[in-house]
Amino acid sequence: MLINLIVNDQPKVFLCKPGDFLLDTLRENNYLSVRRGCDTTNCGVCTVLFDGKPVPSCSLLTVKAEGHHITTVEGIQEEADKMGKLFGAEGADQCGFCNPSIALTVYALKKELINPTGLDVKEYLVGNLCRCTGYIAQERAIKSYLGDKS
């Protein structure tokens, strides 16, 4: 079956089977920033934005995304680069495996919440696990990014 998605603002058509998950569809089509972690909706490493909201792509059937906007980190490259510098400056990048998913989640948070508190940030990021236990450094970098109005 053919599924139409708008990926990073570009209309795309993907050949899929009914049971394919979005994570596999994206990776098979070279959106390799979308990573596979637990594959059980627990780690958040596979996060993409679905109409601007973070979702785990390992548990979203590609057919359910028909006609919707999907954003990967390639679609927010300028903001991701800005975040990457701040994560590096705070020693928060570590292994970097989770960075694309965290960048997407923080980007969505910035769009959705006005003047988020520290608690808002923690709650918004609750679905993104980092195995390097870098949360404190990540929090400093995220606060710095959210304060950046440029």
In the complex, which residues of this chain contact ligand FES (CB under 6 A)?
36-39, 41-46, 56, 58, 94-98, 130-132, 134
Residue among 91 and 118 whose Cβ is closer to ligand FES: 91
Contact in structure between 22 and 62 (CB atoms under 8 Å): yes
| Nearest to ligand FES of 58, 83 (CB atom) | 58
Query: Alpha carbon of 83 to those of 71, 128, 129: distances in Å?
Result: 16, 16, 17
**Least distance (Å) between residue 71 CB and ligand FES:** 16
Give the angle subtended at the CA of 16 by the CAs of 15 and 19, to the nearest 5°. 175
Closest CA relative to residue 22, chosen from 64, 73, 69, 53: 64
Nearest to ligand FES of 26, 76 (CB atom): 26
What's the closest the beta carbon of residue 6 comes to ligand FES, in angstroms?
21
